[in-house]
Homo-oligomer: A and B are copies of this chain.
Amino acid sequence: MAASDHGARRRTLAGIEIFRDTDRDDLARIEQRCRWRSYQPGQSVIERAAPTHEVHFVVAGAVRVEDHAASGRVVSFQDVREGGLVGELAAIDGGERSASVVAVEPTTTAALDPRSFLNLLADHPEVSLATMQRLADMVRQASGRIMELSTVGAHNRVHAEVLRLARERAGSDGESARISPIPAHADIASRVSTTRETVARVLSELSKQDLIRRERNALVVPDLPALTELVERARAE
């Protein structure tokens, strides 16, 4: 099976960010304790509220951390790509899974039991610090989103999300950007907490204002400074 082969080729944690300063021999011992698993897009890696506490290192592919309201609305928190990890909250505090995690690409993870993960943190201050830096980043991202949800309307949150995606892909001059593939309306909606219909309407408005242009396989932002100004003006209101 392709997915397993894929996993077998990559049974190393060398690319995981929190291990960037860990020596090769120590890493080999951790690798031996991991269970390696492959997932197809859409498959569940962690189920919300499940009584599991492993940490998953994302060795290849990408996963999405998301939660579903009782109403069915999906709120997505972050996409974690190759080199990252998910599931560390429950491993660290023993609490329940606060969100679900689903593969969004063909993905391989290395799952480590919580006891081994905690021993690893205790024995390796550099891994501990890297883990704290990740958590600090998660708190900062979440606080920024709370501010945005508290103070900026849905239209402007869609503008801000397009700007974020554009900046990740901006050309070296910072004047324009090409977002490819074109992001799904549902993905933008779950990231900024609005409906797909609102996303469609706002993108159509941006298009009429020549702030975005839809091409065959990309969303082009021809004038980044103009979009930036639109977003910042809304924040100041």
Chain A 127-154 near chain B by CB (<8 Å), digits 1 or 0: 0110111011111101111110111000
Q: Point out the residue from B132, B144, B151 that lies within 8 Å of A131, measured CB to CB.
A: B132
Give every chain B residue within 8 A of A132 (Cβ-Cβ): 92, 121, 128, 131-132, 135
Q: B139 to A75, Cβ gap below 8 A?
A: no
Whether, in the assembled complex, A174 has its beta carbon less than 8 Å from a beta carbon of chain B, the answer is no
Whether, in the assembled complex, A41 has its beta carbon less than 8 Å from a beta carbon of chain B, the answer is no
Give every chain B residue within 8 A of A16 (Cβ-Cβ): none
Give every chain B residue within 8 A of A171 (Cβ-Cβ): none
Whether, in the assembled complex, A99 has its beta carbon less than 8 Å from a beta carbon of chain B, the answer is yes
Task: Write the chain B residue with the least CB distance to A91.
Answer: B136
Chain A 6-25 near chain B by CB (<8 Å), digits 1 or 0: 00000000000000000000
Q: A150 to B93, Cβ gap below 8 A?
A: no
Chain A 48-89 near chain B by CB (<8 Å), digits 1 or 0: 000000000000000000010111010101000000000011
A99→B228 CA distance, assembly (Å): 23
Q: B69 to A140, Cβ gap below 8 A?
A: no
Closest chain B CB from A132 CB (angstroms): 5
Q: A75 to B128, Cβ gap below 8 A?
A: no
A142→B137 CA distance, assembly (Å): 12
Give every chain B residue within 8 A of A89 (Cβ-Cβ): 136, 139-140
Closest chain B CB from A29 CB (angstroms): 18
Q: A133 to B92, Cβ gap below 8 A?
A: yes
Q: Point out the residue from B93, B95, B140 that lies within 8 Å of A95, measured CB to CB.
A: B140
Task: Write the chain B residue with the least CB distance to A150.
Answer: B193
Whether, in the assembled complex, A184 has its beta carbon less than 8 Å from a beta carbon of chain B, the answer is no
Given contacts A69-B151, A70-B235, A235-B70, is CB(A75)–CB(B146) below 8 Å? Answer: yes
Given contacts A95-B140, A151-B69, is CB(A146)–CB(B237) below 8 Å? Answer: no
Given contacts A75-B150, A121-B128, A150-B193, 11 further A-B contacts (CB under 8 A): A67-B147, A69-B235, A88-B136, A89-B139, A92-B132, A128-B132, A131-B132, A135-B135, A142-B143, A149-B193, A151-B193
